Chains A and B, each alone.
Chain A
Amino acid sequence: MNKTLKAALFSFMVTSLAGQGIVFAESITVVSWGGAYTMSQVKALHKPFTEKTGIKVISENYSGGLAQIKAQVEAGKVTWDVVDLDQSAVYRGCNEGLLEEIDHASLPSAPDGTPAKSDFIEGSLLDCGVGTVVWSTIYAYDKTKFPGKAPKSLRDFFNIKAFPGKRGLYKNPVSTLEMALMGDGVPPSKVYATLSTEAGVKRAFKVLDSIKDHAIWWETGSQPVQLLASGEVVMTIAWNGRIFDAQFADKKPFEIVWDHQVVGIDAWGIPKGSPNKENALKFVAFSTNTKPLANQAGYISYGPVRKSSSKLIGVHKEHGIPMLPHMPTAPEHMKNFLQTDSEWWADHEDELKERFNNWLIK
């Protein structure tokens, strides 16, 4: 090897190493669920954050759950700084010491001066998590399959006689049992009290029994859209963002029934012992501010958790349609809804999951 080449190679290595060093010191790793959802965060939250603070955001994807965080915390080598978690994971992770507690006082107030505490909707500020978006479990149907009378209420989903055809359901007791009860006439305010009794659980399974022969069970969020698109089912329970995507990006003739939607909240959590806790906190405070959240709503149909953001929701950045009517938080969708009780599920999930699976394989 001649000298010039060696020198060139050496200087290249040094600069690239130095470059990496700088990136390493000033970056945080933010982990989320992937797909259109992560894209909306990258565009509306990560990029503006880097522009403002110079801190680089490395985006990683995972498929939910606390296992990786638990492994990192137990091994004492935490490489994730901020993680997008669902409420129940925040609750569990917080109780088991896997997440840092977050001081809500550090969150900025709304533009009109409303303190963060009252600007965030109920249940979105958790001990170890700060809410970002509201998503919803709804059911959707294929309009072409119901040319005459179309289903309107959650009750219709469980009414095979009036609306014949296969149903897609979530292979998980969470939200499925609640919807079964509400479909049977239990008001949202009484759902968890009813499910806490043996008679209530039996009632929920009885409702599910009535459609068991017509049910196709899905496990991942993309499946129900595919089931509906391929004609495998005529209506399916699904997550609203996925159906929105199919409606406007893929131009599918789907319709969402918002009656008795089950809303859940996703939140940022910081794994315990993150080496970049300071910057992670900066990111959490920045990304849950009024404007970034409103901007995110321009990419995906999940509602911002800040009330002040709702007023700023505009049109979709690509399809150009107004976004508010497609949000779970739109006023007309909030007439009848249930908020997932993560604390209740933390207590009962293991037990009901066993029971649910026992029911499934029978």
Chain B
Amino acid sequence: MKASQDIPLKAKLRKAESSNTTKSYALILPLGIFLLVFFLVPIASMIYRSVDNPLLAKHLPRTSEALKLWDSSKTPDEKTYATFVAELKAVGEKTSIGRIAARLNYDKGGMRSLVVKTARKLKRVSVNTLPPEGTWKKTLAKIDKRWDQPEYWATIKNAGAPITVGYYLAAVDKKLDINGAVVKVPEHKRIYLAIFWRTVWVSALVTSLCFLFGYPIAFLIARVQKKCVNLLLIMVLLPFWTSLLVRTTAWIVMLQREGVVNDLLIFLRLIDEPIQLIYSSFGVLVAMTHVLLPLMILPVYSVMKNISPDYVHAGLSLGATPWTAFWKIYFPQTLPGVGAGALFVFILTLGYYITPALVGGPQDQMISQFIVYHANHSLNWGLASALGTLLLLGVLSGYGLHNKIAKIDTIKLN
């Protein structure tokens, strides 16, 4: 072919291809926008909120600056007191005072009323004349004795930075002490680390149980005659389509003290007294496994039904025992499905809290319950975001680990 003919053809092809690419991008544009608005932006804003700490930096900048040089073994100097009084009075608006008070109260209980009260009493005092009690130190101490304790000033100091790791520290049961060093919170206040481990542990247990029960069921569905497949699939899917609350409540009826299971066991004379099946870890594991089982069965089944029986037959005809043929030939081929199912179940369990809250005992609280508490009730959105970000990191690392081991990309969606 001549070069002069060659070039226009290539150019044409390129043109056609690029317009095709544009078209296909245009087709997924709505999806892209959807992901951006409802997925990426909220996650980004959550991560931002977990470190964002603008309040004190905005309203009490000079106090924070002065406290940086303060020797924390005694109360700050008179100049710092005066700066604090002037800045607190300059805040003026009640709303901002309330927000500052609430922010400081996250770090130290009692700060809320202390700051609100101090601001209210200072209203009647002018900063241009001499302090009523001679010094501002004495004036504040007269309003409330707590201003004589360095730890209250340390709280203000530690909350002063516009970008903070404080929420993350709180999320792992740590805090900044009076000297600005990272220390563990007192023993009786440590909860989040224990709850995080508890959440991961419950998730791992539920995932294992789902595998133990789900794998044989998927195997059965993949093996039975065609006409039975639909029936079995419907039996798996019906509970899957039923509301989560209904299923959880059903388990309460089954497992409670005078419930179906206990009555049956007593009727069969296996036990004399009802046993505690619910409001305990046992109840959580039973209910969660039941709720999440379909998410294990379906991906495993979808992989199994595409595995040709010829491989196992070949193995058997070459002298493998049925077990060896299953374990060496069949099982490895189902691993992508197991991996996907395990990932679904694990990630969903990490975020569950309604079921554990309804059927669990006091030990069975999951981390998402605390995220809801801080998002909804205490309004400590910084801590809620930090806990959420840590949970997200856990999910992502679980996903990464799975990717490495099971190579999720090999799964086919057909």
B93-107 interface (Cβ within 8 A of A): 94-99, 101-102, 105-106
Q: How far is the CB of A359 from chain B (nearest CB, A)?
A: 7
List the interface of chain B (C-beta within 8 A of A). Answer: 94-99, 101-102, 105-106, 109-113, 116, 188-191, 194-195, 198, 252, 256-259, 278-279, 357-358, 361-363, 365, 370, 373, 375-380
Residue pair A95, B373 in contact (C-beta under 8 Å): no
Q: Which residues of the other chain, A, contact B188 by a CB distance below 8 angstroms?
A: 355, 358-359
Residues of B close to A230: CB separation below 8 A: 252, 256-259
User: B98 touches which one: A94, A231, A354 (CB < 8 A)?
Assistant: A94
Does A232 contact B191, Cβ atoms closer than 8 Å? no
A219 to chain B: which residues have CB within 8 Å?
Answer: 357-358
Q: Is the CB of B110 within 8 A of A347?
A: yes
Q: Size range of the interface on A? A: 35 or more
Within the complex, which residue of A92, A231, A359 is in contact with B379, where a contact is CB–CB below 8 Å? A92
Q: Do A350 and B191 touch across chains, with their CB atoms under 8 A apart? A: no
A343 CB–B CB distance under 8 Å: yes
- Tell whether, in the assembled complex, residue B376 and residue A361 are in contact, meaning their CB atoms are under 8 Å apart: no
Most A CB contacts (10 A, CB to CB) among B96, B106, B365 go to B365
Q: Which residues of A contact B358 (CB under 8 A)?
A: 219, 223
> CB within 8 A of B195: which of A94, A166, A353, A361?
A361
Question: Could you show 14 A-B contacts with beta carbons less than 8 Å apart?
Answer: A67-B375, A92-B102, A94-B98, A95-B94, A95-B99, A97-B98, A166-B257, A171-B362, A226-B252, A230-B259, A231-B258, A347-B110, A350-B109, A357-B191
A-side interface mostly: helix
B377 near A216 (CB under 8 angstroms)?
A: no
Residue of A nearest to B185 (CB): A354
12 additional A-B residue pairs with CB within 8 Å, beyond A97-B95, A351-B109, A354-B191: A92-B379, A95-B94, A171-B362, A219-B358, A226-B252, A347-B111, A351-B189, A353-B378, A358-B191, A360-B362, A361-B195, A361-B362
CA–CA, A351 to B363, complex, Å? 19
Chain B residue numbers with a CB within 8 Å of A231 are 256-258
- What residues of chain A lie closer than 8 Å to B376, measured between beta carbons? 64-67
Chain A residue nearest to B369 (CB atoms) is: A219
| Residue contact A343 to B113, C-beta cutoff 8 Å | yes
Q: Specify the chain B residue showing the minimal Cβ separation from A97.
A: B95
**Do A353 and B362 touch (CB < 8 A)?**
no
Q: Tell me whether A70 is interfacial, beta carbon within 8 Å.
A: yes
Residues of chain B within 8 A of A171, CB atoms compared: 362
Task: Report yes or no: A361 in contact with B363, Cβ–Cβ below 8 A.
Answer: yes
Q: Which residues of B contact A359 (CB under 8 A)?
A: 188
A95 touches B109 (CB 8 A): no
A51 CB-CB contact with B under 8 Å: no
A17 within 8 A of B: no
Any chain B CB within 8 A of the CB of A184?
no
Bound-state Cα–Cα, A348 to B378, Å: 11
Name A304-362 residues within 8 Å CB distance of B. 343, 346-355, 357-361
Q: Once the chains bind, are A357 and B105 in contact (CB under 8 Å)?
A: no
